[in-house]
C-alpha cells in the first residue's frame, strides 16, 4: 500500500521529505509487515528506538506513519482504528537557540555570496532581519516598502498572530533590491514550477550550507546549527545594539 500512498502525495511540496522518511525509516523497520497487522505497541517500540538517537525525527516519523494510516484505514477491513493514535510519542525537544560566533557569521555570509537565488539572498535576509525562515521564504513583494524601509509581515504569517513591522537596514534593502522581480509571482522567492508559493527545499539547502561553512572555516563545527539559529543570532545582536 505504501507505493500507492506515495503516488497519491507526489504533487505535494513535502513529497521529497515524505519519501525520505518512508525509505529511511518506515520501510526498513516495518516494510515486511501487512499494514493491518501492526499493533500500537509495535509502533510505540519502533518509534522509541528511533527516539533514542533522533527524538525530533522520531516525532516526524510517527506523524508521517499516522498520516499513512489515516489514508489507508478505509481500505483495511481488519483494522478498526489508526494504531498510531495512542502510540507512545517522544517528548517535544527542549527549545534552544544556538548563537553563531562572529567567525561563523562571517563565514556564512561568504557561503551566501556563493549561493544562487533564492538561497543566497534568503540566507542573508535571515541574518540581517531576525525573521523566521517561513516569513522570509513566503514573503510577498507587496509587504515590503522600500521608501519607508519597512517590511510588514501580515498577521496570518506572523508567529504571534499579529502584524509585525520589520525595520530594514541599508544592507537588507540592498539584498532585496538585487532580487529580480517575477512577472508571474507575487513572491520575493517564488517556488520553481509553482510561483504562487514560496521556495521550498530548505532541508537540502541547509545541508549544503553546513558543508560549505565547514569548508569556508576549514574545520567541522562541533555543534550543529539550523536556519533558526541565524534568526536567533540576529535578534540577540539587535538587542545588544539597542542597549
Look at residue 162 in the predicted model and tell me its pLDDT: 84
pLDDT, residue 237, reads 62
Q: Which residues contact 191 (CB under 8 A, 6 or more apart)?
A: 13, 197, 198, 199, 200
Spans of all domains in the chain: 1-75, 102-241
- Cα torsion through 176, 177, 183, 184, rounded to 10: 0
Grid look-up 513572491 returns 187
The single-letter DSSP state of residue 25 is: I
* Span 67-76, pLDDT tens digits: 999 999 999 9
The fold of the 1-75 domain, in CATH, is DNA polymerase; domain 1 (1.10.150)
Ramachandran area for residue 4 (φ above 0: left; ψ -120 to 50: alpha; else beta): alpha
Instruction: Classify domain 102-241 by CATH architecture.
Output: Orthogonal Bundle (1.10)
Residues 6+ apart with CB under 8 A from 164: 152, 153, 158
Ranges of residues in the chain with a pLDDT under 70 are 93-97, 221-223, 237-243
Give residue 222's pLDDT. 52
Strands 144-145 and 194-198: unpaired
Amino acid at each position: 500500500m505504501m507505493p500507492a500512498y506515495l503516488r497519491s502525495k507526489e504533487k505535494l511540496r513535502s513529497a521529497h521529505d515524505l519519501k525520505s522518511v518512508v525509505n529511511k525509516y518506515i520501510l526498513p523497520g516495518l516494510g515486511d509487515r501487512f499494514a493491518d497487522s501492526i499493533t500500537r505497541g509495535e509502533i510505540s517500540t519502533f518509534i522509541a528506538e528511533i527516539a533514542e538517537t533522533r527524538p525530533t525525527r522520531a516525532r516526524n516519523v510517527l506523524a508521517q506513519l499516522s498520516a499513512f494510516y489515516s489514508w489507508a484505514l478505509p481500505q483495511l477491513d481488519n483494522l478498526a482504528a489508526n494504531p498510531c493514535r495512542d502510540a507512545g510519542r517522544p517528548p517535544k525537544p527542549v527549545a534552544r537557540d544556538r548563537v553563531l560566533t562572529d567567525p561563523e557569521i562571517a563565514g556564512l555570509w561568504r557561503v551566501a555570496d556563493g549561493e544562487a537565488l533564492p538561497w543566497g539572498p534568503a540566507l542573508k535576509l535571515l541574518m540581517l532581519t531576525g525573521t523566521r525562515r517561513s516569513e522570509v521564504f513566503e514573503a510577498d513583494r507587496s509587504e515590503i516598502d522600500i521608501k519607508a524601509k519597512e517590511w510588514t509581515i501580515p498577521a496570518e504569517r506572523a508567529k504571534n498572530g499579529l502584524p509585525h513591522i520589520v525595520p530594514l537596514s541599508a544592507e537588507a534593502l540592498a539584498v532585496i533590491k538585487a532580487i529580480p522581480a517575477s512577472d508571474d509571482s507575487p513572491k520575493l522567492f517564488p517556488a520553481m514550477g509553482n510561483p504562487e508559493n514560496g521556495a521550498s527545499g530548505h532541508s537540502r539547502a541547509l545541508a549544503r550550507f553546513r558543508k560549505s561553512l565547514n569548508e569556508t572555516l576549514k574545520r567541522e563545527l562541533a555543534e550543529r546549527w539550523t536556519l533558526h539559529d541565524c534568526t536567533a543570532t540576529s535578534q540577540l545582536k539587535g538587542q545588544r545594539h539597542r542597549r
